[in-house]
Structure 1
């Protein structure tokens, strides 16, 4: 009898060992496969079992969570969804996350290790922390002014604070309501198909994800390169520039949109946006100096993040002299995002320094405790301070006497540069209207805002498209929103 008991006990022990080995095999060797299996909904159910943290603008949430009572219990909601979509992106149970909802997903969902009370706490308890909050740098008045300024026009606006790099506005039109994609049912699927099929691409963040030929707004960069290189000394000395200008090595003649450009001074050429003068200045400055200056402003940088990725703005360096002439007036292969051109204006306003742009001021726990802050931002020099001072003078002249008069604000100091960028086969496309600017209140010691506006309105009359007439009033409205007395400043 004892022998049979011993055999039974040994058999049970073997079964126990087999169970432990199989459990180890499942939990260690095949854990990732089971975790990734589409049939495993544990992680999704856990993820949506609690409200998601919020994204805040001026300390007020522009996101929320709705209890659906289903397995995937909490669904994302948005306040003023189309207005803030270029900032928040979407958080969808069906299609994942984009923009801030994506880059800050760990914190917002509660999965970030920094939210745990103790290291490895969640590994032992199998729990999830309450989602944290993301506080943005956006100025709500500037954001709304940009959005309402564009109205039904297709385009984008970016505004930054020159002294810090804080992004004050980031608008793209047409936009969409991210709430349409939040769930996982028929409504979300139909919205997804409709938005992706829309030829106007409302889910494209034109402020940071699309590049445009910057046209004459790039003349700020060309002027900085020419001044730093000593190609231009006296702003009021005639440049001996012909009108039209025959591109080097070709029979192609470059013309101007206005008269008075023949032999114009640099000041006159900047104020009236003379293509011939600046194309010739770019050629005289040379590819190497043009490249160095463009890259010091941020062109050709493939790793810009705010924290989500920004499309690289480009200045082609493999060009001949004719192509360099066109590149120097913002044509040929020169491309820029609105955010990049806002940084160009900010560098002029900031004494020649470029500060890295950022969108997240700080992140916090659900209870309000700080998780991280933006901290000090890297700074690089785009031009000599004396060059920046002279460019400020030139940009003020554009608003005071030239093509940017519609950007003028009573009681404020405003500098700007207009641009009308050709594109399409044989320049057949409706031109893009650009305006970049900076604004300083009458009692301010430094510029408080730099703005870039691009309007790509395919429905507009070609003759009515101009940076000064179409884009400058939008930039003025954004600057007014930031400069007006009592305007809220982003908090550090």
Structure 2
């Protein structure tokens, strides 16, 4: 064999070896990544080859599957009352992927989760029947919140304080996931683009992922810090709170929301009843940012890993402030932000004797035979404040609702209701429409059943003079609490 032929043979052998190595690498190490790649159409064919599993509310599915008109994908996702439940389910779209519970449990719902396969199927790779996701949502509470919010831009969350189960999660304006579910739908792309371009952001789950200044609802956290630190023995002890109150190091006097209210040196009960800014700004400055932050973080602020199981954006209590900025945080302003979920958690912990149960909206994930794969509701609980502090705060919150305070629109017949209103500044020098908040709890007088609710009205579309927590947010909370206790 001459030299040229020998070199060619060796080179050809090296090429063959390189191809074998590459093929082995793809099959052994990159097969899973390639199979899960969004551009792999075979994955979509397998995903929609059979009806998907369902997301269940109170024993009934709010999702479904329908045969497609043709093409490679045999089935498409459908939704019952899709807009009402979109903040819970998210969407499963052949074009745009999956979000919320649809995304988190996609492998259970399409039958590819390894826990669904028996040993024979694991060997053959045959796709198993899909499983289902059982939620904690109460359909009456969900509908009450959705109908009450109506056309406003806002969100609401209801929690069972004793279990952490999320009974309702609503975000408006909403959208119908069915409209973007099918690849074969000629209108799906146009609908998707319209949703993306909508300035009201209907695809955003405001209940979990739109932290905004909580305004005076944050005063509950400051009150908890003051009581826990022993600054005052009870909510009825007078505070050292001058009025007018000048922010430390400035000449700016902080106004109160209700002109003429008895806020000078007011007790915490009176200060919550009339939402006295001077009392809570002074308390925050006196306690100091580190103490207020520590209490806020016990309630869940600054938690970047809060999963319910959908990941919630962190509610924030800031750092590195001067005394004036710290005082402003005492009334839920400066750089304090919160989600409706977070403020519902505050009321839930107070209602549950100072103990917070992990919030969750999935009770069980099951296979096609109903056997449990996981129980996300088996979460942890932790004490946030003492039993005495919680009792004191509940008493003061009841005053806000039932004794001529700022939350009178939240009253529920036959139940003890406590709450706190909030109106948060929006825009430079409060130039934009303020946010209206309400956070509350209700306890049925006969059964002892409890519920905690937080409502945010981001924009009701009316004049700013009509924006108030009691006028806009409290009626939504009232309807959700009444539905939960009925």
CA shift in 2, pair 1:44/1:235, >3 Å: closer
CA shift in 2, pair 1:45/1:302, >3 Å: same
Contact 1:430/1:458, CA 8 A, preserved across alignment? no
Unaligned residue ranges in structure 1 (runs of 5+): 1-15, 485-492
Contact 1:165/1:355, CA 8 A, preserved across alignment? yes
Given candidates 437, 444, 456, the residue that maps to 1:434 is 437
Which residue number in structure 2 is paired with residue 82 of structure 1?
Answer: 83
Shift of 1:368: 2.1
Tell me the distance in 1 between the aligned counterparts of 2:78 and 2:361.
21
Which residue number in structure 1 is paired with residue 447 of structure 2?
Answer: 444
Q: Any idea what the Cα deviations from partners look like across 1:12-35, whole Å, max 9, x if unmatched? A: xxxx99999897576347746864
CA shift in 2, pair 1:33/1:470, >3 Å: closer
Which residue number in structure 2 is paired with residue 248 of structure 1?
Answer: 248
Tell me the distance in 2 between the aligned counterparts of 1:39 and 1:283.
55
Tell me the distance in 2 between the aligned counterparts of 1:361 and 1:37.
30
TM-score where L is the length of structure 2: 0.92
TM-score where L is the length of structure 1: 0.91
List aligned pairs for 1:72-471, cutoff 5 A. 72-118=73-119, 121-185=120-184, 186-258=186-258, 259-401=261-403, 402-445=405-448, 447-457=449-459, 459-471=461-473
Shift of 1:38: 7.5
SS class of match (1:264) = coil
Unaligned residue ranges in structure 2 (runs of 5+): 1-15
Tell me the distance in 1 between the aligned counterparts of 2:453 and 2:192.
32
Q: CA RMSD in A?
A: 2.1
Q: Which has the larger displacement, 252-261 or 233-242?
A: 233-242
Tell me the distance in 2 between the aligned counterparts of 1:344 and 1:150.
21
CA shift in 2, pair 1:262/1:449, >3 Å: same
Contact 2:345/2:356, CA 8 A, preserved across alignment? yes
CA shift in 2, pair 1:465/1:19, >3 Å: closer
Which residue number in structure 2 is paired with residue 490 of structure 1?
Answer: none
SS class of match (2:313) = coil
Q: Any idea what the Cα deviations from partners look like across 1:285-318, whole Å, max 9, x if unmatched? A: 1222111110000001110001111000010122
Shift of 1:363: 1.1
Q: Any idea what the Cα deviations from partners look like across 1:118-168, whole Å, max 9, x if unmatched? A: 2xx444212111110000000000000000011111100001000110000
Which residue number in structure 1 is paired with residue 55 of structure 2?
Answer: 55
Shift of 1:70: 2.6
Which residue number in structure 2 is paired with residue 6 of structure 1?
Answer: none
Q: Any idea what the Cα deviations from partners look like across 1:186-212, whole Å, max 9, x if unmatched? A: 322111111000111101000001101
